[in-house]
Structure 1
Amino acid sequence: MNLARMLKARADVGRPVRVGLIGAGKFGSMFLSQVRTTPGLHLLGIADLSAPRARAALERTGWDTDAAVATSFDQALRTGRTMLTEDAEALISADGLDVVIEATGSPAAGAAHALKAIAHDRHIVMVTVEADVLVGPLLATHARQAGVVYSMAYGDQPALVCEMVDWARCCGFHVVAAGKGTKYLPAYHASTPDTVWQHYGLTPEQAAEGGMNAQMFNSFLDGTKSAIEMAAIANAAGLAAPSDGLLFPPCGVDDLATILRPRSAGGVLEQSGTVETVSSIERDGRPVYRDLRWGVYVVFEAEPGSQGDYARRCFKEYGVVTDSSGRYTALYRPNHLIGLELGVSVASAALRGEPTGTTDAFNGDVVAVAKRALKSGEVLDGEGGHTVWGKVLPAAASLARGALPIGLAHRVTLKRDIAAGNVVGWADVSIEDTAIVRLRREMERAFAGTAVAAQ
């Protein structure tokens, strides 16, 4: 990789890549801790709903805020300081800005900010994967037409998995499965913000002291975040989504190539070329040996038949762990560093004009499923809440069922009762004709029927 060298060259001539961060939460704060130590990057500004919160994020991540914070975007541009604002559009339109990082976590805000960035010829790094899964194919199309980069966020699992898939295909291997690890039990689908901390071994008081958001952490536990990330990978890497949601098979790193094979070869997958999330605990709660809870993986195979004999022999000669046939093997990364790695996406977009993963198909969708019996008149509270969890389905199946995307299942009222475990449909809710609803409908019309066959 030459990105660090390219960034240093920009620093040496006094022309750094200028970055705007929208959202000073956990992911954004992790980026803040590294951008100040990366030559060639200049954080021109931070936009957050609370400017004091943005300032606190700077202080928490080691900045000398008295010296670093500017009083205007013009001063920030001239002096290398950082402007704090509560106006995201002002940041996006600021003179000299090269790259916008969207890290609000809100699908509606994320999509709106991306469209504004495209209109101002800014590259976009979309940390808000919820927005990417909801309308990403359309956003990516608009960006390409405008000549700017729309990118996944390096450090988050989808971008890292897409990189591994790209590596495997560039080596001439067939990708069998790709995804990540997590902690999973079937009962977690019913978890709510009121019950989440017991699964993490924390008291509500300890979580509050750490500034931890119960609904956000619950979205990781109840399966929604895994579904969103797997749909993002399917849409960016040309992989298929499972027909009835993720299986979450318990699996350690040494068994990836054995368990994540097609059923026809003795594994659990319904087909080759699909996304899946593996669990770090067995169904009885025992820990999986050498689990991949924090990591990502790709399972691939040598060419079938005699033509692949030489590659399979090389697997054996170089100590590669395979299944019993020697045909399937895996590459994995045990950890991901989230926002600490985000500078890779920023540099790649600005200096190479390349995304670190980008959505170009509508293969997977994430639909709202009732956590319990829901009554007409109840208001859904979205990802990680008390009412629904997100399940990944093939996009074609989601559209055929008229399923409500999890990204729109927030502050909408049910018009009829929904049984526990049933998918919530568009027809089941009263939903306003908002900008994000119109954008989603436009995306469905544009990309229905464009799913890439698993390969």
Structure 2
Amino acid sequence: MNYTQRLLEREKTVGRPVRVGVVGAGQMGSGLIAQIERVAGMEVSVVADIAVERGVAAYEKAGRQDVQVETDLAKAAELVEAGKPVVIADGLQMPKLPVDIVLEVSGVPEIAAQIAYASLLGKKDVALMTVEADVTVGLLLSSVANAGNQIYTICRGDEPSECLKLVEFAQDLGLTVIAAGKGKNNPNRPTDVPEDVMEEAKAKNMNPRMLCEFTDGTKTQLEMCALSNATGYPVDVAGMHGPSCTIEELAKKLIPLADGGILTNTPVVEYTVEGDVAPGIFAVVKSEDPVVTHELDYLNFGTGPYYAVYRPYHLASIEAHLSISEAILERRSDFQTVVWQSEVTAVTKFDLAAGITLEGMGGHHVRGWTVDAAQAREQNAIPIGLVAGCKLIRDIKAGATLTYDDVEVDETRPLVAMRRLQDALIKGGVI
């Protein structure tokens, strides 16, 4: 039975659809709201956005009328119970409303982490779209959720979660996973700054910093780090190989050196550039049984023993609500951090002078670079998710990995406090 049938059955039994509270009504949030409103047995009950007019506009674009902006939580709760669309300004108030799950789409790691943590403490399930928050404090969030019998999940639709589905498919078939990852569907220019992508960003109606996060490689590093921490698969080398590769070459290049590939260890997470892999995702697998290998060859799956399980697309916000269905109906997370295997560190784009206040991802100062988490701890490297707003206390050369010794960190920031707690729990073997 598919989700639609089961959601309708649930609605008939419970007397109402699944109530989703969405935090963030920007480009991604607006698309998600429109998509969820098309799903039978599910509705967007509340939208939270600091610019309430964006929330109203997102509702109206999705076909909802009589949207009410409310500051009184008691009145907002009454409207939710009555099935009326409500917009509030403060996403941190969302857990206090009668929604079944909080869907975070802010795109800002500091906000996303706070929303997720507050929602879990408020006994709400959480679906997260901001992977930047997960690669900073995801193990803490998943641990809190699991301890409280709640769901914390990264949403379907983006490459990490869809890669995991391919990995699970391969494992269910008894195949050995060698590598899993994505094709990078943007140029790879490590020293890009927002001004370099301004015109393209305008044409795509994007925030130039968001586009810069893609083109300087940070987003790919973040996504593959998330996949690493969800599977336990490490990176083969710092930053990954990122080879030029076609679909046909996946099962020839992303295999062990001994068999003509480029990998020194397996399984690993990886990405490719150029070629025709993007915007798809892949899992390179190996058949360990000659009978199975013969059958797969006969079925034109490839030429064994290595094969590429490939999906040529990922549908972002169009698929995200599937994780809500999985959470509500199955009480299961589609994708979450299970081990702190990898870390995205901050590498300087240019020479930087002491005294500057650092910009975060997609800015002028740093780009993301994934390394083994143990290596990051040895270097005392600061996670890129914490860099924004830190003051540089000494001169740093281009291409250097920033450490806690290089910066002045504002310890009053909630995200910093959450990360300190996660680090302490990891060190103590609690998570």
Mark yes or no: TM-score above 0.5.
Answer: yes
Q: Which residue of 2 aligns with 1:85?
A: 88
Which residue among 100, 115, 118 is the counterpart of 1:116?
118
Write the distance in 1 (CA, Å) between the matches of 2:312 and 2:68: 37
Q: Which residue of 2 aligns with 1:284?
A: none
Write the distance in 2 (CA, Å) between the matches of 1:121 and 1:320: 45
Write the distance in 1 (CA, Å) between the matches of 2:355 and 2:77: 50
Write the distance in 2 (CA, Å) between the matches of 1:317 and 1:347: 37
Write the distance in 2 (CA, Å) between the matches of 1:184 and 1:271: 27
Tell me if 1:76 matches 2:79. yes
Indicate the RMSD between aligned Cα atoms, in angstroms. 1.9
Write the distance in 2 (CA, Å) between the matches of 1:370 and 1:181: 24
Q: Which residue of 2 aligns with 1:17?
A: 18
Q: For 2:269, what is the secondary structure of its paired residue?
A: strand
Q: How high is the TM-score relative to the length of structure 2?
A: 0.94
Which residue among 366, 375, 378 is the counterpart of 1:388?
366
Which sections of structure 1, spanning at least 5 residues, go unmatched?
198-202, 282-287
The 5-angstrom pairing of residues 279-358 of structure 1 reads: 279=273, 281=274, 288=275, 291-303=276-288, 308-322=289-303, 326-358=304-336
Q: Which residue of 2 aligns with 1:447?
A: 426
Tell me if 1:98 matches 2:61. no
Q: Which residue of 1 aligns with 2:4?
A: 4
Deviations 1:375-395 (A, max 9, x none): 111221110111100001111
The 5-angstrom pairing of residues 170-189 of structure 1 reads: 170-183=172-185, 188-189=189-190
The 5-angstrom pairing of residues 9-158 of structure 1 reads: 9-13=9-13, 14-59=15-60, 61-66=61-66, 68-69=67-68, 72-95=75-98, 97-158=99-160
Tell me if 1:227 matches 2:205. no
Q: Which residue of 2 aligns with 1:285?
A: none
Aligned-pair CA distance for 1:90: 2.2
In 2 relative to 1, CA 331–89 (structure 1 residues): closer, same or farther, beyond 3 Å?
Answer: same
Deviations 1:156-189 (A, max 9, x none): 1111111111111121111110111114665x00
One-letter code aligned to 2:40: P
Tell me if 1:438 matches 2:417. yes
Q: How high is the TM-score relative to the length of structure 1?
A: 0.89
Write the distance in 2 (CA, Å) between the matches of 1:184 and 1:420: 23
Aligned-pair CA distance for 1:364: 0.8
Write the distance in 2 (CA, Å) between the matches of 1:74 and 1:119: 19
Whether the 8 Å contact between 2:96 and 2:122 is mirrored in structure 1 is yes
Whether the 8 Å contact between 1:242 and 1:275 is mirrored in structure 2 is yes
One-letter code aligned to 1:39: A
Whether the 8 Å contact between 1:242 and 1:394 is mirrored in structure 2 is no
Whether the 8 Å contact between 1:154 and 1:341 is mirrored in structure 2 is yes
One-letter code aligned to 1:364: S
Write the distance in 2 (CA, Å) between the matches of 1:106 and 1:134: 12
Write the distance in 2 (CA, Å) between the matches of 1:176 and 1:34: 35
One-letter code aligned to 1:260: L
Deviations 1:178-216 (A, max 9, x none): 111114665x0000101024xxxxx36xx4365310001
Write the distance in 2 (CA, Å) between the matches of 1:336 and 1:185: 18
Whether the 8 Å contact between 1:29 and 1:339 is mirrored in structure 2 is no
Write the distance in 1 (CA, Å) between the matches of 2:139 and 2:131: 12
One-letter code aligned to 2:416: V
One-letter code aligned to 2:423: E
Aligned-pair CA distance for 1:26: 2.2
Whether the 8 Å contact between 1:412 and 1:431 is mirrored in structure 2 is yes
One-letter code aligned to 1:430: E
Deviations 1:270-311 (A, max 9, x none): 2111001111x2xxxxxx2xx1221111111111xxxx1011
Write the distance in 1 (CA, Å) between the matches of 2:107 and 2:27: 10
Q: For 2:308, what is the secondary structure of its paired residue?
A: strand
Deviations 1:73-128 (A, max 9, x none): 23432332221011113222102x11111111222211211111111211111111
One-letter code aligned to 2:147: Q
Q: Which residue of 2 aligns with 1:261?
A: 255
Q: Which moved more, 1:270-279 or 1:23-32?
A: 23-32
Deviations 1:367-424 (A, max 9, x none): 0000011111122111011110000111111111011111011111111111111101
Q: Which residue of 1 aligns with 2:167?
A: 165
Whether the 8 Å contact between 2:347 and 2:369 is mirrored in structure 1 is yes
Deviations 1:229-273 (A, max 9, x none): 001001011211233112211111111111111222211222111
Whether the 8 Å contact between 1:396 and 1:448 is mirrored in structure 2 is no
Which residue among 345, 354, 362 is the counterpart of 1:376?
354
In 2 relative to 1, CA 62–436 (structure 1 residues): closer, same or farther, beyond 3 Å?
Answer: closer
Q: How many residues align?
A: 424
In 2 relative to 1, CA 298–149 (structure 1 residues): closer, same or farther, beyond 3 Å?
Answer: same
Write the distance in 1 (CA, Å) between the matches of 2:53 and 2:272: 39
